[in-house]
Structure 1
Amino acid sequence: MSAPAVPEPRPPAEALVAVPAPRRPVGRGTSNGNARGNVQDRARRRAWLLATFGDGQTCPCHRCGLTLDDSTITVDRIVPGIEGGTYRRSNIRPACGPCNSEAGARLAHERTHHRLTTGLAP
């Protein structure tokens, strides 16, 4: 019969070091999910855009004119979130995914260009 295993000694409490939680990466400056609302809020917003800018089933993209439906419409904020824009009805318009993404990338480029040329935050 073998001897019972002896557990390793634990380090003293003062030797334990608190490890900080990892920092979340900083995104593009977009709003968090709470500002966008829950699933029902977003569905109501899309339905409102379809009814206001179209016939209730379809509407055109505000930029390229592509016909959008509930599965292809995205919400474009006129005043972007990075500049304090919200998802209020007075600040949203329908856009297709490519146009909405292109606008966000353009705004990010403009902010970077402004910061590099002036040394100031936009």
Structure 2
Amino acid sequence: LNIHIDMDSPRVSRTEGEALFLAYGGTTPYLEHVNSMLLAIHQGLQDLPGFIAVLREHDLLESFVADIELEDGSQNRLFGFHTINEDKLLQLPGDVLESLNRAGHLQSIYMVMASLSNFRGLIERKQRAVNANA
């Protein structure tokens, strides 16, 4: 994985922020961390088509719409997203669950389900931004 840096970007500085390179060569722990995160994202994107195919095979994908009303009365709708159909997951036989687990998909399925708990925090952040701009 190669990381490219736009040296003309206003976000790049030689005097402020996190150092990317050590004074006498090599990369800093910060850049190593960024590189590992980008590698994980890249690997995830490579694995995504197979993961989606497995979800479809077992009819585990479910579309959802979130309608959110903020304190100012504005209506917000999130659509075009999918999640895991928990009822269908609970109905899967043990051998299918074992297969999903061995392929590394079961953990991903539970992470998708757990990620929905982040919606409350995202809504609260949006509400604070609206309040700050009011």
Q: Same fold (TM over 0.5)?
A: no
Per the normalisation by structure 1, the TM-score is 0.27
Per the normalisation by structure 2, the TM-score is 0.25
Which has more radius of gyration?
A: 1
